[in-house]
Structure 1
Amino acid sequence: MANQTTTQEPPQHLITSTPFQGLKDLPIPLYDFQCVTHKHEILICGGYEQSKCYSYHTLKNQYKFICEYPSDITLDGYCVVKLTDNNNKDKNQITLLSFGGSDYQKRYTLVMKYVSVWGNDNNNIDDNEMNKSKDYNQWIPFTDNHNQPIIIGRNGYGFHGARAVIGGSNDHLLFITYYPYDISVFNLNTFQFIKHDFLPDIHHIRAYHHCFVLVSENEQETMKKNYGMLLFSRTKGLLILYDEDDDTFQFRKASVCADISQFSYYAYVLINDIILFFGGLNNNNGDLSKSVYKYSIQEDEWTTFQDILPSTLHNGVAILSEDESDIHIIGGQHDLHNAVSTHMKTKVRIWDNSQLLKNEVKLIIKYWIRTLKIKLGWIDDFDQIIFKYSRNI
């Protein structure tokens, strides 16, 4: 287990043995790409100047080709999100939305209705029955209710390095943060932008290859009708609250530790009450990081696990398995020039004590007893130990 101590800035620096397990390499080296999960699959959608899409099966540790992006599209900074259709009763099908481009590159907004390429592995789906349809497992134009193509974009702006999340009362709102310091809300039911605003206090930092996540449902319950998001971009952290009824934003500052304040291009993942950041690129001197950083949303505190990654990393992806037991760190760059095909995973419970199992708590306590050579009998410290590691079980 990676021992950890949360502190206010400056954070605690922790060094631990490598908790990562190597997996089968990607079919091709990738960086600056997008991933989503679907049951036991991780869908890998393109990459910088790479059009091929793959499915990685988390149980088989294997990849399968899905499709390619259209040949007239350049993938140089783009977003992919998984849409929610509350009317869709087919749990074997999901819909992906992909958009990107700028004034200088062709703008595009595409959707893919995906059914597993692993055939009978998922609930006895006929291996190619649905895939043979022209509407499945390929990128097609995003259209409105009248079959007219819709492009998500704004003149004068591009989505290179942008980030997007889905929220709203019916999961119908697409929130996009993008260069230089903008946030927009796109209504997926009306196919229109309904809000544009500026992100405060980051004008000299820029929203670019940053962290942007939707606050968990438990946190949203305390915000009533507000929908919460967190953004980190180098030295700035923002809690962003959106009121759907009033169509208004509120912005509050979140702390940023010195260790990560000059970095971007990190892989990041939200897990319950924490955000984990893996690696990153120092925008001032080009240095690359091997560290893992943890931000506690509830406590507004940071922890640094120093030099923990097997190698330096930036421009990769971190994604949580659908059963929330593993974090996959995929692709990226180990230097400033070359993409890698590396794929590894780490257990969530290593980084989040709330995921510890009761048996693990017992083993930890037994280990402490042996290590400290505590005599038989109960001491007050036991109460604190058990409370600390079992309150979230």
Structure 2
Amino acid sequence: MKRVVITGVGAITPLGNTVDDYWNGLVNGVSGAKLISKFDATNFKTKFACEVVDFDPLQYLEKTEIRKYDLFSQYALASVSEAIQHAEINFDKIDKDRVGVIWASGDGGVSTFEEQIGEYKTGNGIPRFSPFFISKRILNIASGLISIKYGLRGVNYTTASACSASNTAIVDAFNYIRWGKADMIITGGSEASITESSIGGFNASKALSTNNENYLQASKPFDINRDGFVLGEGAGAIILESYESAIKRNAPILAEIIGGSLAADAYHVTGTHPNGEGAFLGMKLALEDAGIEASEIDYVNAHATSTPMGDQSELKAMQRIFGTNRTVSISATKSMTGHLLGAAGVIEAIACIKSIQNNQIPPTINSKDIEPEFIGKFDLTLSGTKQKKVNIALSNTFGFGGHIACSIFSKFRD
């Protein structure tokens, strides 16, 4: 099978609208939480989220396009633009039949759906919908728009495995390339879910933190006082490419992807198995796929959303995987970005790639009173960014429905 390398990354996040700004926010321990500005949250139990700020779609799109595209698609195209620029791709010089797009989203055009249904309900029941309503809201449209914009005729589809969706997309793209079915795939995910229905729905399911008085510290993975996740939004893009393709066009190689796995918790619609059975299986299969031992992992970017049961089950799974190994460093970057749902996996994969490039472990912020059962058993990177040689990093993502996706990245060695 072919080797698969990373040649470009792009990001739109609550910590900044470039990869460099995002990474700087992570290593400096910045919280992206803010009071919600996208709608009046006065009557909602949760009044804060991790919003993208200072996003100007005119930097990436024409005015006519902005009117036709939901915000989740705008975020997608913006992150892809940065990734393509960093990867130094000239699509006129490569075979576009061999370049694909595998993109992810959990909610798709949810804001478009809310807006259009709201207008319908307040318009005396007259069905005056926008001609762009369907094409703006469907999950697969971002993948299609990326393909159309760059004329890419290879594999093109959307993964929809909830919060593991973009990591699922990465694993799928990895497999397509290493099996020789594509030379290059643009992969990642995008979400623009800070809306009334999303906040209200997650509140109703008791998934969100309601720590409105101290929202900057509300996301506190592994802490006994955690009370739910903080909703985030944005996008991340990764250019995956066969080693041969990257060398042929003299592309910059940032890292290599060496393993990935997809599995299921098969336990509960929204809850995780108390012992982390799915998480354990996902990590185990990813390690086997990469052909490495758990002791070779230097860094784990944990799924760790800051929910009471989810964090605990992931720690139990990691305890089974890593045993008494104290050399692996673990951090929960959702403590800073919030939870980007279907886009969480890709921005956390980018964090792994940057960690490998810079030999730095971003911190877990806000967490002080760790679950007693796990005190001293893990390096949870609580005291700030850690300088450490990072050769191999693992990214975990888990989604409602029991979906599991894990990916493993390494330093590139020629």
TM range (shorter): under 0.3
Query: Which structure would you say has the larger RCO, counting Cα contacts within 8 Å and 6 or more residues apart?
Result: 2
Which has a greater percent of helix? 2
User: What is the TM-score when the length of structure 2 is the normalising length?
Assistant: 0.24
User: What is the TM-score when the length of structure 1 is the normalising length?
Assistant: 0.25
Which has a greater percent of strand? 1
Q: Which protein shows a greater Rg?
A: 1
